[in-house]
Amino acid sequence: METRNERDSLGSMDVPADAYYGIFTERARRNFRISGIKAERSFIKALALIKKAAAAVNTELGLLDKRVGEAIVAAAGEVAEAKWDGQFPLDVFQAGAGTPFNMNCNEVIANIAIEKLGGRKGDYSVVHPNNHVNMAQSSNDVIPTAIRISTLFSLQPLLSEIGKLAAAFRKKAEQYNDIVKTGRTHLEDAVPIRFGQVFNSYAKALDDCARRIKAAEDSLLQLGIGGTAVGTGINTHPRFKQRLCFRRLSLALP
C-alpha cells in the first residue's frame, strides 16, 4: 500500500496515500479498534456543518484568509453532503471527549481544501486542520454541539416511526377489542383484560413518548459552540458565537 508520511508532536507515522484523513485519525484508528461500529451519517453531517459555519464566520471577521476560508467552506459542504463518508473510519468507542472525531473531520476537510487550492494532501502549510479548520473551536464545544444537531436531524424520522407504530397498535386494538385474555402479574394469571385495552395502552405509551421527545426538542437548540475549551470563549472573536449560531447554523437546522 502506498503511503505518505506525516509528523505531529508525538513523532511521525505513515498514512495511506489516498486517505484524506491524517496522522491524528490514523493514530486513533489503530488505538481504538473496539466495536467496529462507525459514526452515524447525521453526526458526520453535523460536524461538517459546524466546520463550514465556523470557517464562514472566521472569514467574515477577517481572521481567516479569504481563499483558505472559501476552500474550507466548500470542502465542509461536500462532507456534509455525504461525498466523503469513506474517510471517517473511527470506532464510536474512543477516548478524549470525541477529539478523534473532531480531528478526523478537521483533517479530511483540510486535505480536500488543500487540493482545491492546488496543493497536495498532507501539506498543512496550505490549510491546517487545527489552525484553520478548527479555528475558534475545541472538541469540548464541537462534539456536544454536533451531538445536539445530529439528534435534531434524527427527531422527525424518529417521531414519524413512533406515530406509525402507535397507529398500528390502535388498529390492532380495534381489530381485537372484544377478545378477552388473562392478565398476568408477577408471572401469574390474575384478572381478565381485553386485547383492545392492551393494544390501546401500548399506543398511549408511545404517544406519551412522542410528547416527551417534542418537549425536549427546544433544549437541544441551546448550543455550546463558541465556548471553546472550558466554556469561556477564550481565543475567539467576541462576535464569533452569535454569528455562528444565529447567522450560520440556524440556516442548517431542520
pLDDT digits (tens, 9 = 90+) for 187-218: 777 899 999 999 999 999 999 999 999 999 98
Tell whether 131 and 159 lie within a shared domain: no
Instruction: State the distance between the two ends of the chain, measured CA to CA, in whole angstroms.
Output: 42
Residue 12 phi, psi dihedral angles, 5° rounding = -120, 160
Identify the CA nearest to 104 among candidates 133, 141, 64: 133
CB 55 within 8 A of CB 131: no
Tell whether 48 and 164 lie within a shared domain: no
Domain range for 177 is 152-220
Q: Is 189 helix (H, G, I), strand (E, B) or coil?
A: strand
Tell whether 186 and 142 lie within a shared domain: no
Tell whether 179 and 215 lie within a shared domain: yes
Tell whether 73 and 22 lie within a shared domain: yes
Which pTM value belongs to this model? 0.90
Tell whether 136 and 38 lie within a shared domain: yes
Tell whether 34 and 144 lie within a shared domain: yes
Tell whether 156 and 39 lie within a shared domain: no
Tell whether 56 and 88 lie within a shared domain: yes
Report pLDDT digits (tens) over 120-168. Answer: 999 999 999 999 999 999 999 999 999 999 999 999 999 999 999 999 9
